[in-house]
């Protein structure tokens, strides 16, 4: 019987559902709390596939890398977690592949941030390359605001927090589209709509969800974005840009799918379990 | 005339030599202080090759990614900087390729660190995945020492600092071998010998250098290690393990070469410039 | 009826007992979760005494200061929390008052740390000025250990973490004496005995407690130490130094008293409530 | 001959002038780079007065405390550096003494920040208790801005950075008054006028200076503010509040006096040297 290991930090509702479905499709499932046990680089594998479901990007990245060092297939692969976990790398890959995205500058120092602001004009969006749930994604109206953001980021210890992605603010009516891709297939898309008094549509910030119609353009851009990060199971956040049409804003390498299930009624963990099973037997 | 951009934080002696040689081989050279100017993701390229010579790993990584987003060839490529800049990823890639390395566990939490110590025994070496010049690489004699290291790392804000690589301590007489690889060719190897009162051989910690003889085994392992990180120009740090022979300890994606030049007399920047020129014309 | 406000982060067993006793002695008690409500500097007071029972030193410090700004008596006063919350300030005050303490140097930079080590010899104890429950208190055997500690502390963002208290290691058989002082009266003393495999006697690190006999010398030194930090309710940690006799190692401005109650059978929260009542009526 | 030690981090112009004047008034002067040498708590003093001129607040605080532990008079005393180095403590002391100041709330958690904003309305000023040269002092227009500030501060490791002073924004025409007090005497006052495109008047942020007339009210409030922090030599930053008149915004315990000298022509280091001499002989 093919063996699979579910790697997690917290067993959320999503991981419990997935655990059930992995067993349901006939896999032998072990669970691994990521921080509890050391993993030997190049050690003898005791599993066929590692399914990474950590909330911490770094836990997921390093667990995936450790499993791959043993020759175990990881879902997602560490490369995918790395590329999608760092927004600067995501944008670099999207841009290189010619996939539409918001106009974005990377600034490695304060002077470069202010220069980027001059090129873009206000309002603009500033964010660091790492971070989840919309945190530190800042709407900036003017130079005073930008000084506030720059000074705060300068005061942070972590070098990556002092890197700025400076972007055009895309007027979207405070909603975006989240598409879920599994194994090169688009499962579907939903709208995420920001709550009253918040411009970011993240569910973690109170946003609500609604099914979105899948158009061929939406499918094309979502699949292309998944491909550039070499993602098995990823979500793609897309803005409807007033002039440019669909633009990819972000890719998530350990996607939450609770809101998606609620909106679409699809059994995502079942589909994921079946995909993992195919990999395990390969 | 092919154009090349030298990206740097500080113009050290090495960058000045390289600048000269790049011009010497007939390239049109622009210099870019990494933190001064914003780089547009997917912007119009004004150069053919970007040579990354930043002291900050993140500056190098993001500058390389930005240039690649424009279709510019970067030396090294961002992937190489990423893989060699994170020791956990380096070890994962080395192990997957079957390249000999010190026995190494990755521990994502304190409990896992102590379990790894039980598996390895003391003395052991503990280090975080990121960091340069030997910093935070700790020699640990016993549980009290390990508690000190774990508590200090727990007190750090940066999640990556709370990740531990726990390794066998390789008795090397406080020296290691540094090999320089350029474009799939081994330029040579030197010993780095720790100064009195220090067990780490890093030159930044006072170590001195001496030419080392290149054996076929050394060449093979160095070239393999360079290949797993897809490195154009990298250095490989190798230990002489009392039982296992050569083991790769680290790969550097923006190698310093001053000590290497002094020990070997080779004109490294000239060779690098010629390599860059070939890429620029390709 | 006199009014008192209990300020807390978490309602631990100790705060619940205290809440009961404050009500039991006939006070009108309000509770204030420290982080939930803003406090106006110089605002109109709605209480007579604020009892500070936060686990976070800074929450306690700032809540006390805010209440004092309104003319409210705080227990402890902010000065006490400040002086005992910073070990460097505690030692400075102890030393100025001629109270015996371990031989201690303060080092504001790495070079000074190594010089202090030369003056003291190994083994020694190194700790930062702030921190609780024994955390980061490091036993250091030799230069390699000290380099590990210094490098880790240099890597921390918080300036206070890069300050070192470098002390003689006091051979105490891994136990110390904790004395509880309330309103200038010594309530009693207990031993804290380190658990197997740990040299620090902190209860948070697994230490156990036993009643200690109160000698006149112990009483004198404990009361003096309480006085230099102007403490209403403080605990004093004392070592039995093989040559110097009792030496004060630490003063705690928001003392835990659970272990003390268990060992001595004294109703500490009752005594504290009665003390607070006297202040409230004053 | 009375002995004095000048404690510094960097020998700026101001420290060089002071060094000259201390010698000029006939003192035997030693210089101590704060981070270079360990200081023994309660050690044998080799000086009569320590003059603290560090740029780092913590270096000054701990050096002063160490000297005071030896019985040496420190200028300023550690208490003064502590009280003025922490804006929350300064405001608490000012408010308790009834000295006019901007309406200020302290918020120990995010929820409390938003509640303070509701009480104050926008625009408001948000700043952490520690920090110099106006850094992180943020002008906040609306909830979006405040969310940006709160999220950034939450992302900081240092607990004190997650403490918020939330204040009314005082419309001052972007200037404030800086008064210099020495030994209970007001030396004079200057205006600090913000540069174009900056609302904060700090000289470090490009502000310029001009002499201000000393009124009896200005003198009274400056001397009172110096007294609450028990300052020997301090500067007091004062706003002209449209309705409340003079309000004290900040006290500096290691005042820079270069701009003051330029504007007033007073020989501040000479006056300070004479003051120190009187203390040394006392």
Q: Do B139 and C138 touch (CB under 8 A)?
A: no
Residue B258 lies inside a defined structural domain of this protein: no
**What's the CATH code of the domain at C195?**
3.30.470.20
Q: Chains touching chain C at 3 or more Cβ pairs under 8 angstroms?
A: A, B, D
Q: Do D155 and A136 touch (CB under 8 A)?
A: yes
Residue of B147, B156, B197 lying closest to C156 (CB–CB) = B156
Structural domain that includes position C63? 3-76+272-281
- A135, A152, A168 - which closes a domain: A168
Shared-domain flag, residues D180 and D160:
no
In the structure, what pLDDT confidence band is assigned to residue B55 with cuts at 50, 70 and 90? very high
∠ CA A193-A194-A196 to the nearest 5 degrees? Answer: 125
Structure tokens at A97: 């592949």
- Per the structure, how many domains does chain D have? 3
In C, minimum Cα distance to D56 occurs at C159
User: Distance, in angstroms, between C31 CA and closest chain D CA?
Assistant: 15
C125 — contact with chain D (CB < 8 Å)? no
Residue B93 lies inside a defined structural domain of this protein: no
Structure tokens at D154: 């939450």
Q: What is the pLDDT along chain A (282 residues), one digit of tens a residue?
A: 899 999 999 999 999 999 999 999 999 999 999 999 999 999 999 999 999 999 999 999 999 999 999 999 999 999 999 999 999 999 999 999 999 999 999 999 999 999 999 999 999 999 999 988 889 999 999 999 999 999 999 999 899 999 999 999 999 888 999 999 999 999 999 999 988 888 888 878 888 899 999 999 999 999 999 999 999 999 999 999 999 999 999 999 999 999 999 999 999 999 999 999 999 987
Residue D273 lies inside a defined structural domain of this protein: no
Shared-domain flag, residues C184 and C249:
yes
Those residues whose C-beta lies under 8 Å from the C-beta of residue B124, and which sit 6 or more positions away, are B117, B140, B166, B167, B168, B169
If you average pLDDT over every residue of chain C, what do you get?
A: 96
Rounded Cα distance, B102 and B238, in Å: 10
Shared-domain flag, residues A245 and A208:
yes
Rounded Cα distance, B9 and B11, in Å: 7
How confident is the model over D225-282, as pLDDT tens digits? Answer: 999 999 999 999 999 999 999 999 999 999 999 999 999 999 999 999 999 999 998 7
Rounded Cα distance, B79 and B65, in Å: 8
Shared-domain flag, residues B185 and B223:
yes
How confident is the model over B241-282, as pLDDT tens digits? Answer: 999 999 999 999 999 999 999 999 999 999 999 999 999 987
Shared-domain flag, residues C156 and C201:
no
Those residues whose C-beta lies under 8 Å from the C-beta of residue B147, and which sit 6 or more positions away, are C198
Q: What is the value of pTM for the model shown?
A: 0.95
Report chain B residues whose CB lies below 8 A from the CB of D157: 156-157
Residue B249 lies inside a defined structural domain of this protein: yes
- Predicted ipTM of the assembly: 0.96
Residue A177 lies inside a defined structural domain of this protein: yes
**What's the CATH code of the domain at C117?**
3.30.1490.20
Scored b (16 or more CB within 10 A) or e, B46-84 reads ebbbbbbbbbbbbbbbbbbbbbbbbebbbbbbbbbbbbb
Shared-domain flag, residues C18 and C52:
yes
Q: Chains touching chain A at 3 or more Cβ pairs under 8 angstroms?
A: B, C, D
Q: Which residue has the tokens 């964010």?
A: A127
What is the number of alpha carbons within 13 Å of residue A157 lying toward its C-beta?
Answer: 21
Rounded Cα distance, A8 and A22, in Å: 14
Shared-domain flag, residues C177 and C238:
yes
A 10 A CB-CB count for D132 gives 16
Shared-domain flag, residues D43 and D59:
yes
User: Distance, in angstroms, between C116 CA and closest chain D CA?
Assistant: 6
Shared-domain flag, residues A66 and A118:
no
Shared-domain flag, residues A130 and A196:
no
In A, minimum Cα distance to D131 occurs at A155
Q: Which residue has the tokens 């890398």?
A: A65
Distance, first Cα to last Cα, chain B: 13
Residue A92 lies inside a defined structural domain of this protein: no
Residue D89 lies inside a defined structural domain of this protein: no
Shared-domain flag, residues A205 and A177:
yes
The helix/strand count (H/E) of chain A reads as: 9, 14
Q: Do D152 and A149 touch (CB under 8 A)?
A: yes
Residue D280 lies inside a defined structural domain of this protein: no
On whether the CB atoms of residues A158 and B130 are closer than 8 A, the answer is no
In the structure, what pLDDT confidence band is assigned to residue B9 with cuts at 50, 70 and 90? very high
Shared-domain flag, residues D183 and D247:
yes
In D, minimum Cα distance to C70 occurs at D96
On whether the CB atoms of residues A225 and A253 are closer than 8 A, the answer is no
**What's the CATH code of the domain at C66?**
3.40.50.20
In C, minimum Cα distance to A156 occurs at C157
B215 — contact with chain C (CB < 8 Å)? no
């Amino acid at each position: 019987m093919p063996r699979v290991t579910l790697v997690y930090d917290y067993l959320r509702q999503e991981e419990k559902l997935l655990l059930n479905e992995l067993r349901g499709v006939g896999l032998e499932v072990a669970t691994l709390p990521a921080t509890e046990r050391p993993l030997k680089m190049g050690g003898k594998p005791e599993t066929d596939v590692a399914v990474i479901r950590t909330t911490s990007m770094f836990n997921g990245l390093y667990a995936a890398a450790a499993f791959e060092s043993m020759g175990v297939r990881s879902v997602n692969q560490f490369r995918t977690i790395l590329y999608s976990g760092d927004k600067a790398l995501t944008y670099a890959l999207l841009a290189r592949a010619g996939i539409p995205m918001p106009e974005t500058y990377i600034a490695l120092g304060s002077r470069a941030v202010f220069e980027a602001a001059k090129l873009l004009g206000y309002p603009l969006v500033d964010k660091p390359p790492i971070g989840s749930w919309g945190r530190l994604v800042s709407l900036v109206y003017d130079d005073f605001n930008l000084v506030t953001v720059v000074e705060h980021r300068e005061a942070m210890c972590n070098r990556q927090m002092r890197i700025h992605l400076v972007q055009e603010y895309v007027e979207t009516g405070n909603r975006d589209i989240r598409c879920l891709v599994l194994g090169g297939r688009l499962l579907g898309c939903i709208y995420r709509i920001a709550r009253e008094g918040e411009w970011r549509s993240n569910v973690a910030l109170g946003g609500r969800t609604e099914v979105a119609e899948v158009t061929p353009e939406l499918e094309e851009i979502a699949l292309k974005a998944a491909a550039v990060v070499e993602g098995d199971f990823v979500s793609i956040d897309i803005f409807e840009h007033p002039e440019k049409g669909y633009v990819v804003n972000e890719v998530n390498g350990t996607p939450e799918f609770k809101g998606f299930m609620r909106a679409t009624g699809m059994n995502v963990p079942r589909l994921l379990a079946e995909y993992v099973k195919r990999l395990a037997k390969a």
